[in-house]
Amino acid sequence: MIGGYGDGTRSVRAGLPDPVPGQPFLPGPVLASTYPLDPETGPVPGVDGYGRPDNATRRRLEAALGELEGGGQCLLLASGMAAVSAVLFATLRTGDRVLLPADGYYQTREVARAELSSRGVEVTLAPTAGPYPDFDGVRLVLLETPANPGLDVCDIAELARAAHAAGALVAVDNTTATPLGQRPLDLGADIVLASGTKALTGHSDLLLGYVVTRDPDLLSAVRSWRDTTGAIPGAFDAWLAHRSLATLDIRLARQTENAAAIAAALAVHPTVDSLRWPGLETDVAHAVASKQMRRFPGVVTFTLPSAGAVVRFLKASRLVIAATSFGGLHTTADRRAQWGDDTPEGLVRLSCGIEDTADLVADITSALNAVSA
Ligand SMILES: Cc1ncc(COP(=O)(O)O)c(C=O)c1O
């Protein structure tokens, strides 16, 4: 029902049943591990029988995310990493080659190192901004754009064309952008996957992942992986996520507004060594991001001179909370090297929340002043 509407309307209505007098807008969570069976027929396709494959609350959120990703079938998973793993393990076999981002979320490389290489899958890494090796013999190209934490961006449509010409599948990790920021399937990707733990749900209270595709064979491979391995989210988390989705448009709008103001302040502060935000006209990723993204992310990445400088910054700030993850209501900052990312010791991924812009700019500026004092 949401074709042709704006992002606010689409966020509010996505996946909801038609209104019924006396019924809630979003029906409550179906908390069931098992359901009564017809004693005569036993299990029947289309009738919920067991909670691992079957849950109406999950299906509603899947309908919502499929709609928001521009049309496609969605499968929810227990976390973003469960979604990454589902795509890797459902598509790759011994002897295959996979191309992964060298500068994307580090746990994706870790799954590949620990679980794919040992099973005879050849893993090749390429930086998000390129150059890319040729795709001959590659079964799957996984792109992450904007990449976490460095915020480099790649041209999804151009890479999808080249990958398809070589017979490779293309999956895009859409975590940082969210479906309102970018629709990879419309740009030629075969699969979208994401962590719903971040801006998509935004309240820092649950973990979630999802995969969306328009290809029935890929859908059935991922469904089979999920339903047999059991990497499903609980119904209550799915319900909370659906409830959070209604405010996605306004949360993202404020986060982007805050990111723009904070990036402008960081750009002129003498303590900041380097700065990345694709929304800045001076950023190297700005042109390609403007071409394919519908809005810029609420995450800004910058570098202070040392790990100690980051500690001083965090202690001096009254509004920026030291925490990992991103996309939540509260502004947080994370020194990525402490998690094992191959980044400078002073690199900070700042996730802009929905606080007042002026309050954040004043607080961050004074905390940076304290670093250099
Ligand atoms: C780009 C990206 N993909 C996947 C994940 C994994 O998500 P989760 O923590 O929900 O497993 C993350 C987590 O930070 C991420 O940033």
Q: Judge if the beta carbon of residue 79 lies within 6 A of ligand 1.
A: yes
Q: Judge if the beta carbon of residue 212 lies within 6 A of ligand 1.
A: no
What are the Cα distances from residue 150, in Å, to 146, 197, 284, 286?
Answer: 8, 19, 12, 14
Q: Which ligand 1 atom sits nearest the alpha carbon of residue 207?
A: 10
pLDDT score at 372: 84
**Which tens digits make up the pLDDT trace of 295-349?**
999 999 999 999 999 999 999 999 999 999 999 999 999 999 999 899 999 999 9
Is pLDDT above 80 for 30? yes
Structure tokens at 43: 């299990």
Structure tokens at 345: 């010791």
Q: Judge if the beta carbon of residue 80 lies within 6 A of ligand 1.
A: yes
**Which tens digits make up the pLDDT trace of 196-225?**
999 999 999 999 999 999 999 999 999 999
Residues carrying an active site annotation: 52, 105, 173, 198
Q: Give the closest residue (by CA) to ligand 1 atom 8.
A: 80
**Which tens digits make up the pLDDT trace of 62-105?**
999 999 999 999 999 999 999 999 999 999 999 999 999 999 99
How many Å apart are CA 101 and CA 128, to the nearest integer? 6
pLDDT score at 222: 98
Long-range contacts of 108-114 (CB under 8 A, 24+ apart): 108/81, 108/84, 108/142, 108/144, 108/173, 111/81, 111/84, 111/85, 112/88
Q: Which ligand 1 atom sits nearest the alpha carbon of residue 82?
A: 11
Q: Judge if the beta carbon of residue 301 lies within 6 A of ligand 1.
A: no
Q: How many angstroms does the Cα of residue 225 sit away from the middle of ligand 1?
A: 19
